[in-house]
Amino acid sequence: METLYLVVQILSLLGLLCGVLMFWSTRKPPAKEGNQPLPALSIIIPARNEALRLPPLLKSLQQQSWKSFEIIVVDDGSSDHTAEVALSYGAKVLNSKKVGGMSPGKSNACAYGAQSAKGEWLLFLDADVQLADEDSLERMMNSFSKQEGKGILSIQPYHRIVKCYENLSVIFNIIVLTGMNVFTVWKGKFATAGSFGPCILCDKASYISTGGHEAAEESIMDDFALSDVFLAKDLPVTNYAGKGIINMRMYEEGPKQLLEGWTKNLATASQSTHRFVMMLIQLWIFGVIMAVSATILAFLTESSVALLCGIIVYLLYGGHVYFLARRAGNFHLMMFLFYPFFVLFFTAVFLYSLYRTHVLHSVMWKGRKIKV
């Protein structure tokens, strides 16, 4: 029993080390430097039944210190008051239903919006995001200008938690950042897995030359497909974490939408993560199982020293999970003690996503059955 306990403890600590290496740091767009001129910007927001989510985003855009931009909301077949809400905030509204032969979906909505854009640069934003500060937009633009205004700059928004069930997204958010390959201790050693769909900034010339979202029309992960066509043209794709810059509230309709959303994306996105990074992620999750097992075995050994060590490792892992969680969103402190439950939920949804993707070849999203 003592030998087994020792092995389990070593494995749990190995998993913890993998967690440190896989998510070493977050990169954020650098602060504004100087007053260099910036080109006109077109902000394109694909929206399907987003009447409730649009106001915070549009209001945050109105509050930006830099204002040389137009806002285009593409109403993708909404049955609510999405168009009316967008118009009330001064946005230009395009109705996808009025486009002959245009298929529904985010990629097509983005492509349609880009066709009408007047700006030299394009910023694609999901309707559920919100700029965190009045200089957020200018900071993004300045950062993009440092890569010569070419390619893609994408930011994963900081997850803003409101209702308790939304904490179920914690491990998913950690893996979304980690799985992009660029936040490890090795930084730029691994090529990026893709881009972050909620916030993508690119130049219009590159967008047109690559085919843009039209090239990603058949992909369920339009953000990954978009970055692929940019990289194929040797255009840079840079990813950042969005804490203090851009926020997001996900799946506020309820647990059902949360399950559908993560099921839709998880298995497909994981295929783009570098094998070594994926191994670190798997060992980190395996370490959680070992940390729990070590604590259970400590009770069975009836050794006070073993029990103390088991509790320390369990809490150490919990502290690390909470530390990573706060990098991704304002997740609740309960992560610290109950993290095994959230890891178990993540694992179950991941397996379900694999089943939907590779067996049924379809997923559900917002009332639509999407072929994979």
User: What does the alpha-carbon distance between residue 93 and residue 112 come to, in Å, rounded to a whole number?
Assistant: 11
CATH 3.90.550.10 range(s) for the chain read 41-252
CATH class given for the domain over 41-252: alpha beta
What token pair was written down for 24?
A: 């070493």
User: What does the alpha-carbon distance between residue 77 and residue 82 come to, in Å, rounded to a whole number?
Assistant: 10
Residue appearing with tokens 């990074």: 277
Which residue type is seen at 363? Answer: V
User: What does the alpha-carbon distance between residue 42 and residue 317 come to, in Å, rounded to a whole number?
Assistant: 44
Residue 319, number of CB atoms within 10 A of its CB: 14
The helix (H) or strand (E) run that includes residue 125 is strand 121-125
Residue appearing with tokens 């910007």: 41
Specify which residues 121 forms β-bridges with: 41, 203
Chunk the chain into consecutive blocks of 10 residues (it has 372) and report each block's average pLDDT, rounded to whole numbers. 79 94 87 75 94 94 94 90 94 77 76 93 96 94 89 96 94 94 89 92 94 75 85 93 93 87 78 91 93 84 81 92 95 92 93 82 65 65
Parallel/antiparallel/unpaired status of strands 41-47 and 69-75: parallel
pTM for this prediction:
0.90
pLDDT for the residue numbered 369? 65
pLDDT for the residue numbered 147? 86
Specify which residues 200 forms β-bridges with: 124, 154
The torsion angles phi and psi of 133, rounded to 5 degrees, stand at: -145, 160
Q: Is 299 strand, coil or helix?
A: helix
